[in-house]
Amino acid sequence: MILFKKAKDLSAWLEQQRLKGESIGFVPTMGALHAGHISLIDISKKQAGATVCSIFVNPTQFNDPKDFQKYPITIEQDILLLERAGTDALFLPEADEVYPGGTAGLEKYELGPLENLLEGKYRPGHFQGVCQVMRRLLDLVRPDDLFMGQKDYQQCMVVRRLLEIMGVATVLHPCPIIREPDGLAMSSRNMRLSEEQRKKATAIYRALSAIRDGWRKMQAAGARGVFTEEMEAVLRGATMLLEKNDFRIDYISLADAASLEPVTRADHADVVGLVAAFMGEVRLIDNMVL
């Protein structure tokens, strides 16, 4: 694996790959890598000629400065994992390489309702920051294929919108959520949980699973119109389960899988259940396509 710290060096290497006829697969990350990230590298390696990973903890997407300061950094371990996975190139820039003019007064993107729903509502400015960094990385890497995790369901939608705005042919591949054996979605933030918090954190997966089962049962029964009493009870139960495990809930949402607008009808097709909640200072998100 070749490690690049400078954009111009990565550009020159990418140009060589293209001359050799290799397609470029790209996996952007913020580091503190785990098996979820590595699954994206594996998928890219199967589909693309050359796989580039970036590690950059993007300051502009953190609406909470404490979250940014405490974001885990495990760069040596990350390099080992990426090497082992057969990554071809790692881009590891400093902030001034990504934002040469600084981060004040950056451009804004028109993201429509996505900006004010769910993550957009609870993390103001977050998706603008995601677009600002992705724009720069995409302009630099110009990948044929972009691999991102469905763990960040709404982020995949935002990046799809960004690709449209940019008018580029890059294909976005949303990839499955990788979970711990007890169901907890892998996340760099899980490292910040105490042992006790880590055990309680599985409540998110249990709540989403209960919602999925309740939803399927309701649909199998052919319910139409408003949710059944049973489904309402499942949703209340999910809230209680999280609260009993000391979560502070931002949202538990049943949303349309394509628009993320709230679902209110029992016969709605293509639904995703999404959760965001704090365990202590650590904010966790997860989702399940129902």
Angle at 150 (CA atoms; ends 144, 154), nearest 5 degrees? 95
Examine the residue annotation and report whether 173 is marked as an active-site residue of this protein: no
**154 part of the interface to ligand AMP, by CB under 6 A:** no
For ligand AMP, which is the closer residue by CB, 186 or 203? 186
- The one-letter amino acid code at 262 reads P
- In whole angstroms, how far apart are CA 196 and each of 5, 190, 246, 249? 38, 12, 11, 18
Q: Per CB under 6 A, does 132 bind ligand AMP?
A: no
Smallest gap, in angstroms, from Cβ of residue 12 to ligand AMP? 25
Region of 113-121, 145-153, 226-234, 251-259 interacting with ligand AMP (CB under 6 A)? 145-153
Question: What three-state secondary structure class fits 65?
Answer: helix
Candidate segments 84-92, 105-113, 178-186, 205-213, binder of ligand AMP by CB under 6 A = 178-186
Catalytic residue among 37, 126, 173, 268: 37
Q: Which of residues 49-78 bind ligand AMP (CB under 6 A)?
A: none
Q: Least distance to ligand AMP from the beta carbon of 214, Å?
A: 24
- Figure out which of the listed residues 87, 132, 154, 187 binds ligand AMP, where binding follows CB under 6 A: 187
Q: Give the shortest CB-161-to-ligand AMP separation in angstroms.
A: 15
Q: Which listed residue (136, 151, 161, 192) binds ligand AMP by CB under 6 A?
A: 151
Closer residue to ligand AMP in complex, CB, 148/272 = 148
Q: How far apart are CA 28 and CA 133, in angstroms?
A: 10
Q: Print the binding letters for residues 17-36 with ligand AMP: x by CB under 6 A, - otherwise.
A: ------------xx-----x
CA distance 252 to 155: 17
What the block records as the tokens of 57 is: 């903890």
Helix axes 229-244, 203-220, angle to 10 degrees: 180
> Measured between alpha carbons, how far is residue 79 from residues 35, 106, 115, 180 in Å?
13, 30, 34, 22
C-alpha 103/C-alpha 78 separation (Å) is 26
Is residue 166 within a helix (H) or strand (E), and if so which, with residue range?
A: helix 153-166
The contacts of residue 22 (CB under 8 Å, 6+ apart) are: 48, 49, 50
By CB under 6 A, which span of 12-20, 87-95, 111-119, 149-157 interacts with ligand AMP?
149-157
Helix (H) or strand (E) holding 197: helix 195-200
Binding site for ligand AMP (CB under 6 A): 29-30, 36-37, 39-40, 148-149, 151-152, 175, 177-178, 185-188
Q: Which residues are catalytic?
A: 37
